[in-house]
A and B are shown apart, each in its own frame.
Chain A
Amino acid sequence: MSLAETTAAPATRNMAKFAYAVPVIGFALIAVFPYIAGPHYTILMFSAMGFAIALFGLNLLFGFTGLLPFGHAMFLAIGAYTAAYLTAAKYMSLELILLTAAAAAIVIAIPVGLLCIRYIKIYFGMLTLAFSMLLYSFLFKFYKITGGDEGLRIKMPTPSLFDLSKHDTITILTGPLYYYVFGLMLVLALIMWRIVDSPFGLGLRAIRENEQKAKYLGVNVQRYRLVAFVVAGVYGALGGVIVAIPVGLADPSLAYWVQSGNLVFMLLLGGYTNFFGPVLGAVLFIFFQDQLMSYTEYWRLTFGVLLAVIVIFFPNGLMAVIDRRRWWST
């Protein structure tokens, strides 16, 4: 326990305990969700978990390194199209698809990252947006390879742990595959925890706070940024595989700038200063969007107002309302 915690006021300590309980309660709720919600909402939660995985990576770039990409959705598309190509070629193993998506993300993230990380702030954001839109144009125009605007179908992949041959799609998505994805999200969350709790993670935070000083203290800023970009890309691609499975389709809209904007919105909504923030942001966004779309065609207008309210009144996201501390602080 840190000195700050030992000397904290009792009310603050209780708040801190509650704050630690929130991720536990949150993950527990996601675990029991298929038992308390219908198939429609469970499948929505399935998608939300995919977005949460992508957001863990986005948070490494934004929350930790101070780089805000406006084109992170390109990695969602890389994951989804990897799943489409592999399942079309009868490679149905979900593990193989996830590993291939991660490898594809690394192959693309390294050259793109090498160009983007030379810039910061708006220039970094716009460069990532440019690459995302390049991918979108490629997916949209090269019909014979990518299926054009219609995209490519994704057949239901099969995890090696389960025999899904006797189940229908709804049962798979709300049963074994749901828990597979839940487990994957937990594992990836733990890996991310280790990354941000490592010497490397501290280096990223130092870069975010003061790049020049970090350089003079021996932090290899460009290398750290590149690694963070690649890791974020891998998480984005893994999230993209999961997001695309319930839809059964990989289409160019996954790489479109709106999707990148949605990812940033989710992160701001949940909060980038808290470990559970990305999960909360993804869940709230997906469910709120679903409900709003069923009530009004002007749902984007409502989202715009909501985003303005969050940025003005809760700049650190909704999780920061519960836990005011930055979770990475000791």
Chain B
Amino acid sequence: MTLLQAIDVKRFYGVFCALDGVSLSIGEGEHVSIIGPNGAGKTTLVNVLTGLIPPSTGSVSFKGHDVGRMGPLRLSRLGMARSFQLVNIFPLLNVRETIAVAAISNLGQGGRIFASLRANKSVWENVERVAHLFGFTAKLEQPAKSLSQGDKKLLDVASAFALKPEIILLDEPTSGVSTAEKAKIMQVLVEAAKHTGIKAIIQVEHDMDIVFGYSSRIIAVHNGRILADGTPEAIRAQADVMTTVVGRL
């Protein structure tokens, strides 16, 4: 079943064409990696798919709903979550509170203006469950700004998972972290996806070991166009794609 679909999407920044007629379809059970050299249009594609920026032409739909007409709020309620390329945290909130923001949204309790959050068991149970999945149990009271770079990235992803989304789009979840932390983040992420019932993961990634190690499908982007779309084995077999996108055979 198709969850997310883009049809002939173009996106211009002035006269520069960042996305040039991109069409794709993401279904249940897929772990899709979007790869490509710098400036290929990967982040623009994720931003268009998540409604952060509208397409100049073409359409994007999530579960049949036009993404262009929905803001992040409606998308999150429909079951879409995302993390960002740069570290995107609430610096002065601690880990517990950061995850709680999403848990509260997921439980539909954001409008409770006079209810005590401290006494809200359902929120804290959700928070502790997600914190356990992502290895944050011992760091719940730690301010987000004091975490390591890898943990900040992981917290960004963990808070998105706390929304219990159906699809999650991760923009370079392992960028700027050490090689050892990259592997840890990916293992945690895949494990957490299994436990939380996420139906599809879309991931922008530069590290080819991660791309080929974890993805079920790879979409190679170059100059705003989809150069190749297939299984890791199929992509690896295309020498021209590997040379253009990865820079090696």
Interface positions of A (Cβ within 8 A of B): 2-4, 191, 194-195, 197-203, 205-206, 209-210, 212-221, 224, 227, 326, 329-330
Contact = CB atoms under 8 A, between A and B. Distances in A.
Contact of A206 (B90, B116, B141): B90
A221 B74 CA distance: 12
B63 interface: no
Given A205-B97, A216-B76, A227 B113 contact: yes
Contact of A3 (B97, B118, B140, B160): B140
A contacts with B: majority SS: helix
A326 B115 CA distance: 21
12 contacts: A3-B141, A194-B116, A197-B117, A199-B111, A202-B100, A205-B92, A210-B91, A213-B90, A216-B50, A217-B162, A219-B101, A329-B143
Nearest to A201: B117
Contacts of B120: 199
B82 to A, nearest CB: 6
Interface of B: 50, 71-73, 75-77, 81-82, 84, 88-94, 96-98, 100-102, 104-106, 109-118, 120, 123, 138, 140-143, 156, 159-160, 162-163
A209 B88 CA distance: 10
B101 A206 contact: yes
Contact of A198 (B91, B117, B138, B159): B117
Nearest to B97: A202
A213 B116 contact: no
Nearest to B116: A197
Contacts of B93: 202, 205-206, 209
B90 A199 contact: no
Given A203-B104, A209-B91, A217 B160 contact: yes
Nearest to B109: A199
B73 A218 contact: yes
A203 B101 contact: yes
Nearest to B81: A216
Contact of B89 (A202, A213, A220, A224): A213
A262 B113 CA distance: 29
A215 B123 CA distance: 18
A199 B76 contact: no
Nearest to A329: B94
A220 B162 CA distance: 17
Nearest to A191: B114
B113 A202 contact: no
